[in-house]
Amino acid sequence: MNVADIRWILPEILLAAVAVVLLVVELFTPRDNKRLIGTLALAGLVPVFASILTLLGDVGALGSGVRVFGDTFTVDAFALYFKLIAVVAAAFVILISLDYFPGRTPHVNETYLMILFTTFGLLLMASASELIMILIAIEFVSLTSYLLAGYLKTNAKSNEAGVKYFLYGAATTGVMAYGLSLLYGITGATSLYDIGAKLGQGGALSFVAVAMTLAGLGFKISMVPFHQWAPDVYEGAPTPITAFFSVGPKAAGFAILVRMLTTAVPVEAVNWPVVLAALSALTMTVGNLFALQQRNIKRMLAYSSIAHAGYMLMALAVLPSAWAQTGLLIYVLAYLFTNLGAFTVAILASANVRSDDIPDYAGLSQRSAVTAAAMTLFMLSLTGVPPTAGFFGKFYLFAGAIDGGFLWLAAVAAINSVVSLYYYVGVIRAMYLMPAKVETPLAEPAGLRVGLWVAGVATLAIGVLPQPFVLFVESARRLIVGN
């Protein structure tokens, strides 16, 4: 190991140090102090975020990415972009958790620590470029995620969510591990860069290996047919944790998938664009059709999350297209703030109406005009209505599909977007057109209010002033391996 390589894993070192130090501090923190560890965790993410920005500058000066620790770890702008997404998601979720967990579980402080450790795994996933590292990073995230899903021990749905998440995850991990072993058996290598040079020798077995590997990654991103866990886990897990699941692991899963496809799986060995195009169409269609039937806001957002995985898969099917590459990265950013904002409103509404059912959002606009307006913005952004971040992301994704020769896929995505408008507008209808059962103003704790404003402003800013975000994304896009 080259000691100089250590500087390239500074974000991971800092995050691990923060988590371990706070683990010790928590031992001496009184049980009635429910905010100290969360506040310190938020503060601890600041140097991690700064270190990622520093590495972005270093990578930009070099003009290319850096492979360290025997090609097991790649640090380029693409990886660093997804690390920023993971850290922002973690900070946002911790912020809205400060007013959620107290009173629901005696183990409030441990929740923040588990979020930090999960984020550590997400950072590893973003840079992993070797089979063993990929498997370890995914399993690290999975194990901590299972614990977070079932964290409300006295809540039957939370317990069910943890068990179901574990069972589905164990099954798909086993399949993925076998697929990775086949990749090693075919090529005699574990580095993605070496595998890419040799995989064409595997013939039909190459397709089997890639398909089995895709099963494990498909589970992380909620891709059909590996999506069945999402609705039950999203409904049963604590709502801030559900918000985290919907953006953090999903984004990291796409990061690994892009790196594997562009580095280790040449089209000559496996015709993955056609496979991913079919899976994209299937995923967005299944997600939207099942979302139409939902009354529970968390289950609706779960199926919505599946549909959005389908939209993002559309970009992977045409990755050589610069439009698609930019679209994927913009869409991940837009989805981050839009979805986190929607779940923040869900937390606020649930705390006040004591229900997650959409009909119980009746008259929400009369109780809090700002909250209802924010939820309207998030619903329209998820649909892809201008001038929101979601519209801008979908514009690039659709353009990428057309540019890559998949006009039929862009048409399917457009139809699905129209279908999704029905259930998103259903939430808006309940808030504005149905009479309120109670007209007392909503109680809006400070942390949730700040999170709502951050998500709302970001969702509008990306849609109204997209140019700065495009310029930032372009630097990451150019460093997607092989382009």
Place of tokens 């040079």: 197
User: Tens digit of pLDDT for each residue in 167-207?
Assistant: 888 899 899 999 999 989 888 888 888 888 887 665 778 88
Q: Shortest CA distance to 301 belongs to which of 365, 268, 346?
A: 346
* Lowest mean pLDDT segment, chosen from 214-228, 256-270, 339-353: 256-270
How many whole angstroms separate alpha carbon 176 and alpha carbon 217? 8
User: Tens digit of pLDDT for each residue in 14-49?
Assistant: 999 999 999 999 888 787 777 888 899 999 999 999
> What is the mean pLDDT of the segment spanning 61-65?
72
For the entire predicted model, the pTM comes to 0.92
User: Tens digit of pLDDT for each residue in 328-381?
Assistant: 999 999 999 999 999 999 998 888 878 888 988 888 888 888 999 999 999 999
Please state, in angstroms and as integers, the Cα–Cα distance from residue 330 to each residue in 53, 342, 370, 403, following that order: 18, 18, 26, 17
How many whole angstroms separate alpha carbon 372 and alpha carbon 349? 10
In a domain, 110, yes or no: no
How many whole angstroms separate alpha carbon 47 and alpha carbon 68? 22
Q: What percent of the chain has pLDDT over 90?
A: 43
pLDDT at res. 12: 94
In a domain, 431, yes or no: yes
In a domain, 138, yes or no: no
Place of tokens 């229900």: 355
pLDDT at res. 3: 67
276's tokens = 């991913």
- Is the model's pLDDT at 52 over the cut of 70? yes
Q: Examine residue 225 and say whether the peptide bond preceding it is cis (omega within 30 degrees of 0).
A: yes
User: Tens digit of pLDDT for each residue in 439-472?
Assistant: 788 778 888 899 999 999 999 999 888 888 888 8
User: Tens digit of pLDDT for each residue in 280-327?
Assistant: 999 999 999 999 989 999 999 999 999 999 999 999 988 877 888 888
pLDDT at res. 206: 82
In a domain, 70, yes or no: no
How many whole angstroms separate alpha carbon 375 and alpha carbon 338? 9
In a domain, 404, yes or no: yes
Average pLDDT, rounded, for the chain: 87
4's tokens = 């100089």
In a domain, 80, yes or no: no
Instruction: State the amino acid at position 200 in one-letter form.
Output: G
- Total domains in the chain come to 1
pLDDT at res. 481: 43
Instruction: Give the residue with greater pLDDT, 255 vs 59.
Output: 255
In a domain, 403, yes or no: yes
Please state, in angstroms and as integers, the Cα–Cα distance from residue 145 to each residue in 84, 89, 100, 123, following that order: 19, 14, 18, 15
Q: Which domain holds residue 378?
A: 271-483
In a domain, 324, yes or no: yes
| 3-class SS letters over 67-116 | EECCCCEEECHHHHHHHHHHHHHHHHHHHHHCCCCCCCCCCHHHHHHHHH
User: Tens digit of pLDDT for each residue in 199-217?
Assistant: 766 577 888 888 899 988 9
- Is the model's pLDDT at 105 over the cut of 70? no
* Strand bridging mode 66-68 / 73-75: antiparallel
pLDDT at res. 149: 87
For 210-219, b where at least 16 C-beta lie within 10 A, e where not — what string? bbbbbbbbbb
